[in-house]
Amino acid sequence: MTLDDLQNGYFIWQHEQGFRFGMDAVLLSSYAKVRRDESVLDLGTGNGIIPLLLASKTQSRQIRGIELFEKNVSLANKSISYNSLEDRIGIKEGDIREIRSLFDAASFDVAVSNPPYMPAGHGFVAPDEEKAAARHEIRCTVFDVAAAASFVLKGGGRFYMVHRPERLSDIFRAFDANHLEIKRMRFVHPSYGREPNLLLLEARKGAASGVRIEAPLYVYDENGNYTEETLSFYGMP
C-alpha cells in the first residue's frame, strides 16, 4: 500500500497492485462544475480519488460516493480519515444497479462517474475481479450509470462523465432513455495530430436539446511534455 501526495494538500492511500487512479479521474474532476454548497455523488468511486479531488477544487457542501467492492470502500475511508474530511466526504458500499435502495430520488445537485469503458466480452479481461469490473461492463453498463445518475439528480441537475469516443452511440442512447441531455462535450487527444482517446461530457436532467462541442484538449505537446492546460489540472505551474 502506498500513500501518494495529490499536490493539493491531500493524500490518497492506494494498493500497489490493485486499482490506481489515472489521468481520466483528474480530467473529470477538473471538468465538473460544482457550485458552493452543492451536493455531489460519485457513481463507482473506486478508491475515492474523485471525491478527494473535488474536495480540493470545489466548495461543495457534501460529496458522497458509492462503491461495489468493500476493500475499496475501506481504502477510500482510510484516505478520508487521513485527510480529516469526514465532515464533507462519505463513501457507501453498494451496487449502482440498486441505487433506489441506497439513496433518495432527486437528492443530489451533481453526479459524476468514471465508469468502465469496455463492453463485456471485448478485449482482454483481467483475471482480477476488481480490475475487470473497473475496465469492462461486467457489473454495470453505461445504461446503468445513466439510470443511477438520473434517479439521484434533482431536476436540472448536472451529470459529468468521462468515457471513450467510440462509445458515443451507446452514450447517446443511454442518456436519452434516462432524460439526460448532453450540454457540453470535449474530446481529449493524447497529443497534436492524434485521434481523441477520451471524452468529457456534461449532461443535465430534463434540459432542452442543444450541445456545445468545446475546443479539444491536448495532453502532451510536440515535445512529449504535458501541455500547460494539463499541468494546471494537476495543480502544477
- What tens digit of pLDDT does each residue of 204-230 get? 999 999 999 999 999 999 999 999 999
Task: Give the number of other Cβ atoms within 10 Å of residue 197's Cβ.
Answer: 15
Find the mean pLDDT for residues 139-167. Answer: 96
pLDDT band for position 8 (50/70/90)?
Answer: confident
User: Among candidates 182, 192, 235, which has minimal Cα distance to 217?
Assistant: 192
126 pLDDT above the threshold of 60: no
198 pLDDT above the threshold of 60: yes
What is residue 161's predicted lDDT score, i.e. its pLDDT? 98
The rounded distance, in Å, linking the Cα atoms of 179 and 197 is: 26
55 is in which domain, residue-wise? 2-233
DSSP collapsed to 3 states, the chain: CEEEECCCCCEEEECCCCCCCCHHHHHHHHHCCCCCCCEEEEECCCCCHHHHHHHHHCCCCEEEEEECCHHHHHHHHHHHHHCCCCCCEEEEECCHHHHHHCCCCCCEEEEEECCCCECCCCCCCCCCHHHHHHHECCCCCHHHHHHHHHHHEEEEEEEEEEECHHHHHHHHHHHHHCCEEEEEEEEEEEECCCCCCEEEEEEEECCCCCCEECCCEEEECCCCCECHHHHHHCCCC
pLDDT band for position 119 (50/70/90)?
Answer: low
Task: Give the number of other Cβ atoms within 10 Å of residue 207's Cβ.
Answer: 16
The rounded distance, in Å, linking the Cα atoms of 236 and 8 is: 10
Mean pLDDT, all residues of the chain: 90
Could you give phi then psi for residue 196, rounded to 5 degrees? -65, 145
pLDDT band for position 116 (50/70/90)?
Answer: confident
What's the predicted TM-score (pTM) here?
A: 0.92
Number of structural domains (the chain) is 1
CATH code at position 108: 3.40.50.150
